[in-house]
Amino acid sequence: MHNEVKQFDTISDKYASFVDGDPIRNYLHYPTVVELLGDIKGKYLLDVGCGDGLFDRKLTKEFGAKVWGYDKASDLIALAKNDESKYPLGITYSVDDPLTFHTGELFDECLSVMVLSYAPDANYLINFFDSTYKVLKEGGRFLSVIFNPSFKAFDCVIANRIFKIKDGKVEVNFLKPKTNEVKFTALLTQFSIEEYTDAARAAGFKKITWEKLYPTKEGVAILGEDFWRLCEQEQPYVVLITEK
């Protein structure tokens, strides 16, 4: 198992409870993806690297989608399945990576939230695009929230993160909002625009677009404009959209 995945497997409980209340996930990543997806009522979605399934439950409960989520971290999938058995929503979860994930079914849209940036190297990226291309319906999209290839504002507090460069990788310090206490860290890679677009094109995706992320009004009301200012200015994340 790659270290990039092991980091979430070994901290699964801590990670899952952090993400549950994480303003970046709840007021920036997830709402942006939902807006870009449009009307997903009755649509079949694949969530690549779904973690403990927090987003999948939202997509199902609040927006009426049908969801399959997979993740390589078995501990996180165990948490997701546990939730599904207690509060059934009809979500399918599996322990998979893009090389093991196979199904005869086709999805309307695929998505992933902060997963591709944890690929072990640029050569691995093609696996994510290959795998989603194969299971997408014609005209379907793969929407991926990734660490922004153009981001430069390292070593500053941005919302509840500090990004630091460490041995050619990016160390993400996840902070408790308001106190800025470091809850845990993770290592990701700042892949370039070319590395992403080459991998997506090699898999067959022709149309490639990029979208900025802005917090929701609710997120601004709860945490204040100061909390989000640098996040809006510096854009640590971007949504990469590839269309089949």
46 is a contact residue toward ligand SAM (CB under 6 A) = no
For ligand SAM, the binding residue among 49, 140, 219, 236 (CB under 6 A) is 49
Q: What is the DSSP letter of 52?
A: T
| 8 A C-beta contact, residue 197 and residue 209 | no
Q: Which is nearer to ligand SAM, 116 or 136 (CB)?
A: 116
- The CA–CA distances, whole Å, from 114 to 18, 25, 31, 87, 104 equal 15, 10, 14, 26, 26
Considering the complex, state which of residue 2 and residue 207 has its C-beta at the smaller distance from ligand SAM: 2
Single out the residue of 50, 136, 162, 200 in contact with ligand SAM (rule: CB under 6 A).
50
Candidates 112-120, 153-161, 174-182, 210-218: pick the segment binding ligand SAM (CB under 6 A).
112-120
CA distances from 28 to 67, 156, 198, 237, 238 (A): 21, 18, 27, 9, 11
Of the residues 27, 44, 55, 129, which one makes contact with ligand SAM according to CB under 6 A: 55
Name residues contacting ligand SAM, limited to 127-146 (CB under 6 A).
Answer: none
d(CA 171, CA 233): 20
β-bridge pairing 66-71 and 107-113: unpaired
Strand pairing class (44-48; 92-95): unpaired
- Binding to ligand SAM by residue 114, rule CB under 6 A? yes
Q: Does 66 bind ligand SAM (CB under 6 A)?
A: no
- Asked whether 61 and 86 are in contact (CB, 8 A), the reply is no
User: Which one, 55 or 93, has the nearer CB to ligand SAM?
Assistant: 55
| Token representation of residue 158 | 């941005």
> Count of residues binding ligand SAM (CB under 6 A)?
20
Using an 8 Å Cβ cutoff, are 241 and 210 in contact? yes
Which range, of 34-42, 66-74, 152-160, 208-216, touches ligand SAM by CB under 6 A?
66-74
How far apart are CB 15 and ligand SAM at their closest, in Å?
A: 7
By CB under 6 A, the residues from 71 to 100 that bind ligand SAM are: 71-73, 76, 97-98
Are 80 and 93 a contacting pair, CB within 8 Å?
A: yes
- Provide the binding-site residues for ligand SAM, judged by CB under 6 A: 4-5, 8, 19, 25, 49-51, 54-55, 71-73, 76, 97-98, 113-115, 118
